[in-house]
Amino acid sequence: MMKNCLRYFFAFAPLLLTCFTSFSQTSGYSGTGANIDVKYHRAEWNIAPDATKNISGRVTTYFVTTAANVNKITFDLDAAHAFSATYHGSSITTSRTGNVITLTLPGSLALGTLDSVVITYSGAPPAFSNYGEGFEEKSIAGMGYVAYTLAESYGDDDWWPCKADMQDKIDSMDFIITTPSTFRAATNGVLITDVVAGGNRIMTYKHRYPIASYLVSVGVASYNVFDRGTVNISGTAVPIEYYIYSGHGSNPSAQLTAMDFCKQELVVFSNLFGDYPFKKEKYGMYEFGWGGGMEHQTFSAMGFSTMSSWSVIAHELAHQWWGDKVTFASWNHLWLAEGFAKYSEVLAAEFVTGLGQNPVTHRTNIQTTALATSTNPIYLANAEINNSNNIWTTVNDDALYQRGAMVVSMLRKLAGDTKFFQACKNY
């Protein structure tokens, strides 16, 4: 019987993998940029947190055409923003239909052409509603105004022009963020320069790994920066850093102690899943104004209360493999990221020394919730993925996280640890 179960598991595993890579998109996407493959963005943002909630910027996009005779290119950008575009330094004709903008090129591009356009924009992003806040500025007690983003699932084009399509990851990005001098900016990748001049601070970051548009992020606040050394992953020293609102003081010891367990978890997860996917850059956590956590690539965003939550810290780190490095093809398959990340909390409890958590208890708690939602499928139907608030319901959360984690637990039990963790690495 067990041999048959294992045979079915390994027959099923390739199908599971395709959910990350090859299933066609269903709904929730505008279909922008269908004739280009985005290679690089240089994002230049001006952010001064205050009551106006404005952002202005310029995004340079390099792309390769995937069709012949390309003379129009479309991107996603919320209608709240005014915009213009240039091509090789000259203004070009633009138009808008809702949240889709069209750039008309002066000529036609052949298939396989590498080229670029520049979009300049400004405006106040739309008000957030529950999940997928997009871009937010708010006043926080003891801090004043802060700015932050939360784009999952459809909030990316709320605040920057992009091709909002997980199946066309951006190969590489640079970020140049200008803020008032008393603020700092947190974003994906490695900080290259930090210059204060003329009342402004200009922070430049680079990110040289493929990234989905909803994982692009920024946080702007009066941050205290905590450099926590490095972690050795297969001979590469991975820097660990935290950005925490200065209003919490110079030594938020409970949060620092809890977050430092991510160092052991980086090693544990690298051993189980394969090396940390972004080891040439960093791993860190920065505070933002939402109460939970979000797995922004290389730099997870955390509410202050979750900075002392062992399970959220492990969960968001695990997403660097499950969701960031390996991204599901459409929101129908979100359980693949959330289920693996949720089960990774059990693995942290099992393998991290000193965490003080019982993996059996944690798995049992997950199972209890999973059984209570046994009628809810882990696969999201098309009608459930047309906006963020439909995706992120309590019922769906229990199915995606808890039941998804139990599917992963089942696969581990059927395959045994050696084959299961090798299969994880094979993703």
pLDDT in tens, 43-92: 999 999 999 999 999 999 999 999 999 999 999 999 999 999 999 999 99
- Burial of residue 361, with CB atoms counted within 10 A of its CB: 0-12 exposed, 13-18 middle, 19 or more buried: exposed
Tell me how crowded residue 108 is: count the other CB atoms within 10 A of its CB: 12
Q: What is the pLDDT of residue 20?
A: 46
Q: What is the pLDDT of residue 11?
A: 42
User: Could you tell me where the beta strands, DSSP code E, fall in 31-89?
Assistant: 36-46, 55-65, 70-76, 81-87
- For residues 325 and 269, the answer to whether their CB atoms sit within 8 Å is no
Q: Please tell me what DSSP assigns to residue 292.
A: S
Rounded Cα distance between 423 and 324, Å, is 18
pLDDT in tens, 101-158: 999 999 999 999 999 999 999 999 998 766 667 999 999 999 999 999 999 999 999 9
**Overall average pLDDT of the 300-318 stretch:** 98
pLDDT in tens, 373-396: 767 889 999 988 988 888 888 888
Return contacts of 268-272, CB within 8 angstroms, 24+ apart. 268/347, 268/348, 268/351, 268/352, 269/317, 269/318, 269/321, 269/344, 269/347, 270/233, 270/234, 272/347, 272/351, 272/421, 272/424
404 SS3 class: helix
Confidence band, pLDDT 50/70/90 cuts, at residue 3: very low
pLDDT in tens, 161-205: 999 999 999 999 999 999 999 999 999 999 999 999 999 999 999
pLDDT in tens, 132-146: 679 999 999 999 999
Domain parsing of the chain, residue ranges? 2-24+330-426
